[in-house]
Amino acid sequence: MKKFTIILTALLLASPLQAVAGPQTDRKTRRQLEKENSQLRQRLESIQQELDWLRQDKNERDSLERQMELLYREDRKESAADYFDSPGDFQESGQQDGYQQGDFQQDGDFDYTDSVTDSLLSVWYLHRQIRENPQANYNMDSVHFTSGVPDQVLIERLERMNSFIRLPYNETVKNYMVLYSEKMPTRMSQMLGLAQYYMPIFEEAFRKYGLPLELKYMAIIESALNPVAVSRVGATGMWQFMHSTARNYGLRIDSYIDDRMDPVASVDAAARYLRDAYRIFGDWSLAISSYNCGSGNVNKAIKRAGRRDFWSIYPYLPRETRGYVPAMVGAMYAINYAKEYGLEPAPVQMPEHVDTFMVNKNLHFRQVSEVIGIPIDDLRDLNPQYYKDIVPGAQGDQVLRLPFNYSNAFIDSQDTIYKHKAAEMFSGSVEVGRPQPATSTRKASSGSGSWVYYKVRRGDNLGKIAARHHTTVKNIKSWNGLKSDKIREGQRLKVGKR
């Protein structure tokens, strides 16, 4: 409405109406008056169209904001339910993060407060290649790092990055720049290795929607580039989607598929979410912040601050959200200037070239592995969305990604692969040609039948195992007499009953 007032005022100043009476009217012919009236009507119609457009745009923004806030509130309900149902999730022995945002307890367990939702900043889950313990934990609210690199050099490097996020150089931003570039070299080296595989996938998605490519660095803050990350409140995948938000952005979640773990599908949903958030706030720092704490909290901070920029609302944001944007800049800085700090990408077990196949029959990873010799862990890394190792192709075409060097073998041996131990592979899980929902281990836990055992693999944690077998960490600990969340490779665990 302010814009409409400005337009109308300008029009009136530019074309003042003449008095109808007196000699001024006598000087104008009827044709001139008709021409002026026609011009005025056209200008009024133009103003009306502009006003209608502004009203429509405001209604769309309000509607979108309400929808996103409803999703956020629904996620908070799910978060609370999941938290009280599964206390103690994801305290994996020897695999905690290199820093904390003030929300980790001394033993590494995460303490969820009312302000914490998806914990996109504070909770880190490591990919299979990231196993080294951190050297120290940091509370970023109180720490003040020093660096051998002068402040002026840091400022110049930050400016040369020419990012879409315009952040002034201050102590908060500097702390995160130093943290990522100097305080955890092993972790950054490993993430640099993973970034070589995942970043091109992210760039393609953000380019598709015309979004800034720098948004790809959010995945480092979210999950340390781990596609199977699952938080204690249920946020899942590299982009840490909650269940209802994921479903509303078109991600499939059922007994066999969780698209939140698919790097391609999840980044596409994240791009659309961020596009919607930017339409609401018109500022990327605010849009990114809303990804962490919800648009409602960002709007509350804006109202309390009386201004609409990140650093003005900074004190009014939830604690973990305050550090989210500076942390993203810190990760971006460390990756852009990795060579200056001697950071080299660690070798990772991801193929350089991948082929995509459409599968229209039920297929088990073990069938592919045993027939053509591809390691089953490679299949899991490339296809993490099939968290039960089953591609339910009979439900409709499903994507299967394979290393390029196994493509010909898969094509030549498809008939053999689908028939290989089919009755054994799908017994008790899906009928060949007609998939059925898997029975929840949680529901079956109190029934009769023989125990189902699982052998712990490297990189596993109780949360991941519970999610894969549709049960809770609490159940697994009870069934196996575990007093803590610590597990070891090769350990045999009860995960439910047949």
Q: Report the number of secondary-structure helices (H) and strands (E) in the chain.
A: 22, 6
Q: How many Cβ atoms sit within 10 Å of the Cβ of residue 349?
A: 13
The answer to whether the CB of 468 falls within 8 A of the CB of 456 is no
- CATH number of domain containing 480: 3.10.350.10
State residue 392's pLDDT score.
94
In contact, 242 and 80? CB cutoff 8 Å? no
> Is 53 domain-assigned?
no
Do 213 and 140 fall within a single domain? yes
End-to-end CA distance of the chain: 64
Q: Are residues 249 and 379 in the same domain?
A: no
What pLDDT shows up at residue 492?
Answer: 87
Is 143 a member of any domain? yes
Tell me the C-alpha distance between 167 and 289, whole Å. Answer: 14
Q: How many other C-beta atoms are found inside a 10 Å radius of the C-beta of residue 360?
A: 12
Q: Are strands 492-497 and 451-455 parallel, antiparallel or unpaired?
A: antiparallel
Residues 166 and 287 occupy one common structural domain: yes
Report how far residue 15's alpha carbon sits from residue 44's, in angstroms, rounded to the nearest whole number: 12
pLDDT at residue 58, as a whole number: 60
Using alpha carbons, select from 345, 343, 337, 333 the residue that is nearest to residue 176. Answer: 333
Cβ-in-10-Å burial (0-12, 13-18, 19+) of 398 comes to: buried
Q: Is residue 220 part of a domain?
A: yes
Nearest-Å Rg of the Cα atoms of the chain is 28
Domains in the chain, number: 3
Whether residue 224 sits in one domain with residue 180: yes
> For residues 330 and 98, what is the distance between their CA atoms, to the nearest angstrom?
14
Cα–Cα distance measured from residue 117 to residue 317, given in angstroms and rounded to the nearest whole number? 13
322 and 386 co-located in one domain: no
- The CA distance from 488 to 473, in Å, is 15
Whether residues 262 and 191 share a domain: the answer is yes
Going by C-alpha positions, the residue among 310, 215, 331 that lies closest to residue 272 is 215
User: Quick check: is 249 in a domain?
Assistant: yes
CA distance 178 to 191: 16
In a domain, 286, yes or no: yes
Q: Say whether both 221 and 262 belong to one domain.
A: yes
| 7 within domain boundaries | no
pLDDT at 72: 53
Name the residue type at position 346. Answer: A
Please say whether the beta carbons of 489 and 457 come within 8 A.
yes
Rounded-to-integer distance, Cα 65 and Cα 276, Å: 8
Residues 404 and 450 in one domain: no
Domain range for 326: 99-104+117-341
Distances in Å between the alpha carbon of 114 and those of 80, 91, 469?
A: 9, 20, 29
Q: Which residues contact 44 (CB under 8 A, 6 or more apart)?
A: none
Q: What is the pLDDT of residue 55?
A: 64
Residue in the block written with tokens 């955890």: 184
User: Does residue 301 share a domain with residue 207?
Assistant: yes
247, 132: one domain: yes
Model confidence, pTM:
0.64
Residues of the chain with pLDDT under 70: 1-28, 49, 52-137, 428-450, 498
DSSP for 304-363 reads HHTS-SHHHHGGGS-HHHHTHHHHHHHHHHHHHTTGGGT--PPP-S--SSEEEEEE-SEE
Q: Residue 67 has what pLDDT?
A: 55
Q: Say how far apart CA 107 and CA 96 lie, in whole Å.
A: 10
Residue 75 lies in a domain: no
In angstroms, the CA 315 to CA 452 distance is 50
